[in-house]
A and B are shown apart, each in its own frame.
Chain A
């Protein structure tokens, strides 16, 4: 039975007790993403802070409607990115994307991906990859929006 490959205990734990769930203030950008093939939805907020001139992920909060894989993946993602500089967090996101596109052929780096290595089994199921990526894509989008807000507001300040 390969089910346990996909539904590792770590994933089911995050699904039953998601971290950073529930929308919180303050935030710099909010996005709503759906997976149109199945209707999974997530509303996600990002708050950034400036630490010595570098954008750092201050908070990520989300309200999901979706399957165990999409909810658990979003929960793991928040653990991975909160507190990290945006550039470093994006690199983790890229590593996760690589893992998801690997069709089960990639040995994930646990130092980089931590709990997210549990999703390696998901990459063998094409229909579920989008579930695992929903939260990540929403976070990337929200972060890009938050960065462009801060750019335009600093431009505005200089003008």
Chain B
């Protein structure tokens, strides 16, 4: 992936100034402790500009987009389609028509999986990996059960990376779907290599970009994916709005997923013809307020520069790997260097269950995720029942990484391990 964003003026990355844009980061939590939010992999926080954009939409422009002959309807349509164009530019897509709004990354993946259900036959193969989030696993598993196709997967290696075994890609493979970045170990698979394998076999290539797009510069032309699904709320945008990028021809070949109003061309009692993509996949009154927020989020990220966001997170990750790595009894799941690895750091504390670690850290004001993080097979393979996960974003600081390390030491003391 190459940088799609270039800023004319080089400005230093000022995390303290950035933090002032995020009201929630100023609040205190349990016992009046300042909030140390290390759970952006689950959902990110929001800058004021995103909140303002949503509020402004409701205060001044609220209407059903794509219908109505009044000014507000026109303005709502402009906001909605404006965000589509911003997202397309953010991803380097060939056209805004390659951007489908969904409610989540999960829905985007299901949209593709349900669309393929019409054409998959027994003997066809679906290829995923063992490190997938359940959102990029269960839809394919269920698609296989529904169609009689065979689900295959790349194995997970002991360091959390994928064993990209080319022999798993055959002329029967219809789609290869892998994560862009593991939501547990931060592993970034060799996406280009996997995509080339898929395309050489005539298969489609889908990337679950939920943890990739918010944190790295992504250009879909370089990525080579036919589909890229991600969520707005993990990249400073509102909850409830996701994106499915698809090459136009790939989207055009898929039948609609959810059907109803706004996605039709002509409806008769016996049959219906559908609009072309992206409208084909967007029935119902569109979520314009969320789109207004996502548009502001994309502007915010673009202004910061995704290359700088990625560099900041890489520095935090290197710091965390070092700081946690030197605590006795802490086992980091996944790669121990930042090479092809993003800013989520999952770990176990020997003798203390993840839930208990999370509870003690919460008492110190530190918010992390505990459990299997919707990636149960990944955990099983690593011999781990549940883990702790700290995930970093553009507003986190090195002092917060130190607070996490201190919190883990305190936890060990509390449980006397």
Partner of B385, one of A7, A12, A39, A69: A39
Q: Is the CB of B359 within 8 A of A3?
A: yes
Alpha-carbon separation in the docked complex, A142 to B35 (Å): 42
Q: Give the residue of A38, A65, A125 whose beta carbon is less than 8 angstroms from that of B370.
A: A38
Determine whether the beta carbon of B359 is less than 8 Å from that of A1. no
- Are B363 and A67 in contact (CB-based, < 8 A)? no
From known contacts A38-B371, A39-B376, infer whether A1 and B355 are also in contact, taking CB-CB under 8 Å: no
Central interface residue in A38, A68, A125, A128, by most chain B CB within 10 Å: A38
Task: Report chain B residues within 8 Å CB of A7.
Answer: 356, 414
Q: Would you list which residues of chain B between 373 and 412 have a CB under 8 Å from chain A?
A: 376, 379, 385-386
Which residues on A sit within 8 Å (CB–CB) of B353?
66-68
* Least CB distance, B346 to chain A, in whole angstroms: 13
Cβ contact of B372, chosen from A39, A69, A128, cutoff 8 A: A39
Q: Distance in Å from the Cβ of B43 to the closest Cβ of chain A?
A: 15
Q: By the criterion CB–CB under 8 Å, are A67 and B379 in contact? A: no
Secondary structure of the A side of the interface?
A: mixed
| B386 and A38 contact, CB distance less than 8 A | yes
- A2 and B365 CA atoms in complex are apart in Å by 12
Question: How distant is the Cα of A65 from the Cα of B371 in the complex, in angstroms?
Answer: 12
Task: Tell me if A3 and B414 are in contact (CB < 8 A).
Answer: yes
Q: Is the CB of A128 within 8 A of B359?
A: yes
Contact of B360 among A3, A66, A70, A131 (CB under 8 A): A3
Q: Which residues between 129 and 144 of chain B lie within 8 Å of chain A, taking CB atoms?
A: none
Question: How close is A127's CB to chain B, nearest CB, in angstroms?
Answer: 8
Report chain B residues within 8 Å CB of A3.
Answer: 359-360, 363, 414
Q: Complex Cα distance A105/B24, Å?
A: 29
The distance in angstroms between the C-alpha atoms of A125 and B356, with both chains bound, is 12
Does B272 count as interface, using CB distance less than 8 angstroms? no
Question: Of B30, B31, B355, B414, which one neighbours A67 at CB under 8 angstroms?
Answer: B355
Expressed in whole angstroms, the Cα–Cα distance for A131 and B385 within the complex equals 15
Please provide the chain A residues from 44 to 77 with a CB less than 8 Å away from any CB of chain B in the complex. 65-70
A40 interface contact, C-beta 8 A: yes
Bound Cα distance from A1 to B30, whole angstroms: 9
Does any Cβ of A come within 8 Å of B354's Cβ?
A: yes
State how many angstroms separate the Cβ of A142 from the closest Cβ of chain B.
Answer: 22
B356 near A1: Cβ-Cβ < 8 Å = no
Partner of B355, one of A2, A12, A40, A41: A40
What's the tally of chain A residues with a CB closer than 8 Å to chain B? 20
Give the residue name and chain of the A residue nearest to B411 (CB): A3
Instruction: Tell me if A6 counts as interface (CB < 8 A to partner B).
Output: yes
CA distance A3 to B385 in the complex (A): 24
Which one, B31, B355, B414, B415, contacts A131 given CB within 8 A? B355
Chain A, Cβ-Cβ closest to B371: A38
Which residues of chain A come closer than 8 Å to B363, judged between CB atoms? 1-3
Q: List chain A residues, Cβ under 8 A from B379.
A: 39
Q: Check B386–A39 contact: CB distance below 8 A.
A: yes
Task: Tell whether, in the assembled complex, residue B371 and residue A2 are in contact, meaning their CB atoms are under 8 Å apart.
Answer: no
Contacts of B414 in A (CB 8 A): 3, 7
Give, as a whole number of angstroms, the nearest-CB distance from B380 to chain A.
Answer: 10
Residue numbers in B under 8 Å from A131 (CB-CB):
355
Within 8 Å of chain B (Cβ to Cβ): is A37?
yes
Complexed CA–CA distance, A136 and B96 (Å): 54
Which residues on A sit within 8 Å (CB–CB) of B371?
Answer: 37-39
Which of chain B's residues has its CB closest to A3's CB? B363
Contact of A2 among B31, B370, B372, B376 (CB under 8 A): B31
B333 to chain A, nearest CB (A): 14
B372 touches A38 (CB 8 A): yes
A38 touches B355 (CB 8 A): yes
27 contacts between A and B (CB under 8 A): A1-B31, A1-B363, A2-B30, A3-B359, A3-B360, A3-B363, A3-B414, A7-B414, A38-B355, A38-B372, A38-B386, A39-B371, A39-B372, A39-B379, A40-B355, A65-B385, A66-B353, A66-B355, A66-B385, A67-B353, A67-B354, A67-B356, A68-B352, A68-B353, A68-B355, A68-B356, A70-B355
| Chain A interface residues toward B at CB < 8 A | 1-3, 6-7, 12, 37-41, 65-70, 125, 128, 131
In addition to A68-B353, A68-B415, 20 A-B residue pairs with Cβ atoms within 8 Å of each other are A1-B363, A2-B363, A3-B363, A3-B414, A6-B359, A7-B414, A37-B371, A38-B355, A38-B371, A38-B372, A38-B386, A39-B385, A39-B386, A41-B385, A67-B354, A68-B355, A69-B356, A128-B355, A128-B359, A131-B355
